Amino acid sequence: MTATTWNEAPVAIEGDGVELRVRDIGGDMSVAFVRFPQGADMAPVLAGLPGDLCQCPHWGYLLKGRLRMRAVDGDEVYEAGQAFYWAPGHAPEALEDCEYLDFSPKKEFDEVVEHIKAAMRRGG
């Protein structure tokens, strides 16, 4: 069995108040601890992925704040205290300062994280 905490998970992405910490938790899954400040919109750094949207599924729990998830089949708003499943094809936008925990397939999530890092280096 494997466990981790926010502080034990290494930082994968950091900048403009966004913080993503990711750790492999065994098998084909990773756990991510995420912070988005109010107004953070991930759409610009997802541009270039199929549909310009994150193509990795996520299961998780919103610890703090409100988040709009834009998706092909329409937007949904999530609030602190809700567990969620986000199917492939989404882009988050923080309506308030947000913190959440999600579990994702490692390979797909690593691809999205690398795309975001490259976009951030380009200033996207």
Q: What is the pLDDT of residue 124?
A: 60
The residue type of 3 is A
Asked if residue 104 lies in contact with residue 58, where contact means CB atoms within 8 angstroms, the answer is: yes
User: pLDDT tens for residues 56-100?
Assistant: 999 999 999 999 999 989 999 999 999 999 999 999 999 999 999
Identity of the residue numbered 32: A
Specify the pTM.
0.92
> Residue 90 belongs to what H/E stretch?
strand 90-94
Other CB atoms within 10 Å distance of the CB of residue 56: 23
Q: Which domains does the chain have, with CATH numbers?
A: 16-121 (2.60.120.10)
- Per DSSP, the three-state class of 63 is strand
Residue 123 has pLDDT above 80, yes or no: no
Mean of the per-residue pLDDT values of the chain = 95
Token readout for 39 is 């107004």
